């Protein structure tokens, strides 16, 4: 079924290894890289890319790898998606930049019109465009503080919100995101997340929300809270899916407390979880949403979309940036959103989720190191532990990922304890390729069990 979504311009949709991974040309380029690129910038898989499309990434040695990463949930529409390519080519030949704050252009407005349509809720909305997810989150906090006149921001255990100074403070994990980079921004308060695999058995979403609320009220004070910021399904923190009822209860509490409920949908957005947004799944309508990754088919674009009265509470000139809503990125976003509609990529994500969860659960029955299988749509993961316990096994996680890479499948890891394998294929990936990647994963577990 999903094979119908592969454009004819994409590379041959196959896993093909013609050298060891990484091959000689990639190794050469890694040596050049080491001589000029900061060691602070990491590499998951040291193969250099020549082409990519559909469900594959082709490297400079001619190896074709199955892509279960999508550039970290960015190319939901596939790499070099035809509509995106055509729209960007047309725009780049017309004009490349004027700065929207100097002399505006239609593409920016059209993107904001689309965001008003596709984001949760039917209320009147406004948007502002930025370049990265971190920048969107920073601006959502700025808006919430101006709109409420309060300063405290509540975030959750295992959260990831970015790498800038404010977003490092909002992010939970020390290594590698925060270590040595302080001091961090003040007025950030962290409370417990709903994490069904690690919470006491049977703790419901409502109970987990009550636990978080008790801590907020005791340690911060409801009247001081400007914003409650949460990923509806946590990304880098390990694809933690909160128990049903948790998100609606937290959102309700925020509303009653006069705080802004911000959903960070940077990773979960744009059809990834089988709906336009992960908030849609439980009918949660955030006051503000932060968007980036999947938004523009690989071009850098981010947004804050939210209630008109909040977004308009900011003084003129208080929001913006030189490149925010760059015309090429806007053209790409309009084409990507059109592609999501035309190809029903939310439906494709649900089909991917069905295939993945079935296979991952079968794998779990054979491998007691798989403590938990979870996710929604095309955002799924396994959490690896010492069998019979919840003690994380990051070494096994790294070994299985490495084996998948050597066998031509791009997989990513995640989790506060580094013990989660996560799967984020492009939503256009073919069923055969997905099945083959799962066979490789199966073999990797068998090799390390």
Ligand X SMILES: *Cc1c(COP(=O)(O)O)cnc(C)c1O
**CB neighbours of 372 closer than 8 A, spacing ≥ 6?**
197, 382, 383
Of 279, 269, 215, 217, residue with least CA distance to 248: 279
CB of 178 to ligand X, least distance (A): 14
Q: Which value, to the nearest 10 degrees, does the dihedral of the CA atoms of residues 158, 161, 163, 169 take?
A: -70
User: Rounded to the nearest whole angstrom, what is the least distance from the CB of residue 214 to ligand X in the complex?
Assistant: 25
Cβ proximity to ligand X: between 59 and 287 the closer is 287
Nearest residue (CB) to ligand X, 73 versus 340: 73
Check binding of 134 to ligand X (CB under 6 A).
Answer: yes
Q: In whole angstroms, give the CA distance from residue 37 to residue 31.
A: 10
> 141 with 166: CB under 8 angstroms?
yes
The region of 157-165, 182-190, 220-228, 238-246 touching ligand X under the rule CB under 6 A is: 157-165
Per-residue binding string, ligand X, 312-351, x by CB under 6 A, is ----------------------------------------
Residue with tokens 């506060």: 416
**Alpha-carbon span 378 to 424, nearest angstrom:** 6
Q: Is 416 in the site for ligand X (CB under 6 A)?
A: no
Of the residues 21, 243, 266, 412, which one makes contact with ligand X according to CB under 6 A: 266
Task: Compose the 224-243 pattern: x for residues touching ligand X by CB under 6 A, - for all others.
Answer: -------x---xx-------
Does position 137 interact with ligand X (CB under 6 A)? The reply is yes
Alpha carbon distance 4, 100 (integer Å):
38
The yes or no reply on residue 158 touching ligand X (CB under 6 A) is: no
Contacts of 106-114 with C-beta under 8 Å, sequence gap 24+, read 107/325, 107/327, 107/330, 107/331, 107/334, 108/325, 108/327, 108/330, 110/330, 110/334, 111/301, 111/303, 111/325, 111/330, 111/333, 111/334, 112/303, 112/305, 114/333, 114/334, 114/337
> Among 26, 132, 194, 397, which residue sits at the site for ligand X (rule: CB under 6 A)?
132
Q: If you ran DSSP here, which 8-state letter would residue 4 be given?
A: G
Give the nearest distance from C-beta 222 to ligand X in angstroms.
25
Q: Which stretch binds ligand X (CB under 6 A): 45-53, 78-86, 154-162, 429-437?
A: 154-162
Q: Give the residue among 292, 250, 280, 400 at the shortest CA–CA distance from 349.
A: 280
Tell whether residue 193 is a contact of ligand X (CB under 6 A). Answer: no
User: Nearer Cβ to ligand X, position 69 or 235?
Assistant: 235
Please tell me the count of residues contacting ligand X according to CB under 6 A.
Answer: 15
Site membership for ligand X, residue 74 (CB under 6 A): no
Is residue 157 involved in binding ligand X (CB under 6 A)?
Answer: no
Residues that bind ligand X (CB under 6 A): 132-134, 137, 160-162, 231, 235-236, 264, 266-267, 292-293
């Amino acid at each position: 079924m999903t094979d119908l979504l592969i454009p004819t311009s994409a590379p041959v949709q196959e896993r093909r290894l013609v050298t060891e991974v990484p091959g000689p040309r990639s190794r050469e380029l890694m040596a050049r890289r080491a001589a000029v690129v900061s060691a602070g910038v990491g590499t998951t898989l040291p193969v250099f890319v020549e082409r990519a499309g559909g469900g594959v990434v082709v490297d400079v040695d001619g190896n074709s790898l199955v892509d279960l990463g999508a550039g970290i949930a960015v190319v939901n529409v596939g790499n070099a998606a035809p509509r995106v390519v055509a729209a960007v080519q047309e725009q780049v030949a017309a004009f490349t930049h004027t700065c929207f704050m100097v002399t505006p252009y239609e593409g920016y407005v059209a993107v904001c019109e689309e965001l008003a349509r596709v984001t949760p809720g039917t209320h009147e909305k406004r948007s502002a465009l930025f370049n990265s997810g971190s920048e969107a989150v920073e601006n959502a906090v700025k808006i919430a503080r101006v709109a409420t006149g309060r300063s405290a921001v509540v975030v959750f255990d295992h959260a990831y919100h970015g790498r800038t100074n404010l977003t490092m403070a909002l992010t939970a994990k020390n290594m590698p995101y925060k270590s040595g980079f302080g001091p961090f921004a003040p007025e950030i308060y962290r409370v417990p997340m709903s994490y069904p695999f690690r919470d006491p058995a049977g703790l419901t979403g409502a109970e987990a929300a009550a636990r978080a609320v008790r801590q907020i009220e005791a340690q911060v004070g409801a009247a001081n809270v400007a914003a409650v910021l949460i990923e509806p399904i946590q990304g880098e923190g390990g694809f933690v899916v909160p128990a049903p009822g948790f998100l609606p209860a937290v959102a309700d509490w925020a509303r009653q407390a006069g705080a802004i409920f911000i959903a960070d949908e940077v990773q979960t957005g744009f059809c990834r979880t089988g709906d336009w947004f992960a908030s849609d799944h439980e009918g949660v309508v955030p006051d503000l949403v932060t968007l980036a990754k999947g938004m523009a088919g690989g071009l850098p674009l981010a947004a804050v979309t939210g209630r008109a009265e909040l977004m308009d509470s900011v003084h003129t000139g208080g929001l913006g940036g030189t490149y925010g809503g760059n015309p090429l990125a806007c053209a790409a976003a309009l084409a990507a959103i059109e592609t999501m509609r035309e190809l029903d990529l939310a439906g494709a994500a649900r089909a991917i989720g069905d295939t993945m969860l079935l296979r991952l659960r079968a794998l779990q029955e054979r491998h007691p190191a798989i403590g938990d299988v979870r996710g929604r749509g095309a955002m799924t993961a396994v959490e690896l532990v010492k069998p019979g316990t919840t003690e994380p096994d990051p070494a096994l996680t790294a070994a299985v990922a490495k084996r998948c890479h050597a066998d031509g499948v791009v997989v990513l890891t995640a989790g506060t304890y580094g013990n989660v394998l996560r799967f984020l294929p492009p939503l256009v990936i073919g069923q055969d390729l997905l099945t083959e990647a799962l066979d490789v994963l199966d073999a990797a577990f068998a090799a390390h069990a």
